[in-house]
Homo-oligomer: A and B are copies of this chain.
């Protein structure tokens, strides 16, 4: 149930790659190769590529995952959200250009804003309760006796999931909200960021968020794995950290 987030920050490159030509791509490939047998998904975060003008590296990394590890799900973390005519272009970007299996989306623009993603045959994973403190500002407003994030979970479970593959994003930093969302959407996959550097606990996530069959979670860790070591052993250290996180996600047998 582990997902490794690919957030290649040039300020945190391990020193064997720091400043090297093609460092972003080489770093991501090394992390992918070191952890692929431990994960269900890789999740490149597009902002880290866009800030560096590294779209070609992202294309290459996505192709590498699809071709080398075809059983691993490729989630483009882009949090898209726009009106239909624009969303159509974001769908082409995510599923055509990058070949992602699913893309994260922001639900603020509602159901019609995600239709183009389904038409392109890709999955959408909607932000529901995010891992940051400011998530409260809008997501925790109470309407009709329920917080906004619960309305989002209901909208996705009721209206979106009949049209295509859907999931929800709930931060590991809010385990009670995770349990609430699981009750609203018993069968949907939930992508859970915030384990590791952001402070969420993997075992708590499984306890509160697993579906009835013990599965249904995609638990993301990015920085704790990517930057487990800044030395020559960065890939081995990433593998060790990913292994520890994966082990803590296993249910008691």
Q: A51-B90, A106-B108 are known; give 13 further A-B pairs, CB within 8 A.
A: A47-B89, A50-B93, A51-B92, A51-B97, A85-B223, A107-B108, A107-B138, A109-B130, A113-B134, A138-B148, A141-B141, A142-B144, A148-B148
Closest 9 CB pairs of A and B: A110-B134, A110-B137, A112-B134, A141-B143, A47-B89, A51-B89, A51-B92, A143-B143, A83-B132
A248 interfacial by beta-carbon distance below 8 Å: no
Contact between chains at B132 and A89 (CB < 8 Å): no
**Which residues of chain A in 123-157 are interfacial with respect to chain B, using CB atoms and an 8 Å cutoff?**
127, 130-139, 141-144, 148, 151-152, 155
Contact between chains at A134 and B148 (CB < 8 Å): no
A55 interfacial by beta-carbon distance below 8 Å: yes
A127 to B142, CA, bound (A): 20
Q: List 5 A-B contacts (CB under 8 A).
A: A79-B106, A81-B106, A83-B131, A84-B132, A141-B151
Which residues of B are found within 8 Å of A68, using beta-carbon distances? Answer: none
Which residues of B are found within 8 Å of A93, using beta-carbon distances? Answer: 47, 50-51
A86 interfacial by beta-carbon distance below 8 Å: yes
Interface size class of A (residues with CB under 8 A): 35 or more
A60 to B142, CA, bound (A): 45
Q: Which of B81, B86, B130 lies in contact with A45, CB distance below 8 A?
A: B86
A130 to B114, CA, bound (A): 14
A136 to B143, CA, bound (A): 13
A82 interfacial by beta-carbon distance below 8 Å: yes
Contact between chains at B113 and A83 (CB < 8 Å): no
Contact between chains at A82 and B84 (CB < 8 Å): no
A48 interfacial by beta-carbon distance below 8 Å: yes
Which residues of B are found within 8 Å of A232, using beta-carbon distances? Answer: none
A103 to chain B, nearest CB (A): 12
Q: A114 — nearest CB in chain B belongs to which residue?
A: B134
